Amino acid sequence: MENKEKKYLIIISIIAIVSLGLRIITHMFVKSKGEIVVTHQSVEVLRVDYTSNATYKIHGTVGILVLEVKDKKWRIVEADCPNHNCVNTGWVDQNLDIPIICLPNEVIVIYEP
Amino acid sequence: MNHRYFKQATMIAMLCALAITLNILETMYLGFLPLGIRIGFANIVALLAIYLFGIKELILINFLRVVLSNLLRGTLFGSMFWISFFGVLLSTISLIILKKNKNSLIFSSLISSIFHSLGQIIVVCFIYSSPYLVSIFPYLLIVSLIAGYFIGKISLLILTRIKPIIH
ipTM of the complex: 0.71
Q: For residues B24-30, give the mean pLDDT.
A: 87
Q: For residues B93-119, give the mean pLDDT.
A: 92
Q: A residues 8-67 near B, CB within 8 Å?
A: 8-9, 12-13, 15-17, 19-20, 22-23
Query: What's the pTM value of the predicted model, to 2 decimals?
Result: 0.72
Yes or no: say if A54 and A71 are a contact pair by the CB < 8 Å rule.
no
First to last CA, chain A: 47
Query: CA B28 to CA B45: how far, in whole Å?
Result: 19
B4 contacts: CB under 8 Å, gap ≥ 6: none
Between chains, do B145 and A15 touch, taking CB under 8 Å as contact? no
The bridge status of strand A54-59 relative to strand A64-70 is antiparallel
Instruction: Residue A19: list chain B partners with CB under 8 A.
Output: 137-138, 141
**pLDDT score recorded for residue B59:** 93
What confidence category does residue B90 fall into, taking pLDDT thresholds of 50, 70 and 90? very high
Residue type, A43: V
**pLDDT score recorded for residue A32:** 66
Between chains, do A5 and B141 touch, taking CB under 8 Å as contact? no
Instruction: Residue B104: list chain A partners with CB under 8 A.
Output: 1-2, 5
| Helix boundaries (H) for chain B | 3-29, 42-52, 55-73, 79-100, 105-127, 137-166
Q: For residues A68-97, give the mean pLDDT.
A: 85
From B103, B104, B138, residue closest to A20, measured CB to CB: B138
CA distance B26 to chain A (A): 25
Three-class SS of residue B3? helix
Mean per-residue pLDDT over chain A, rounded: 85
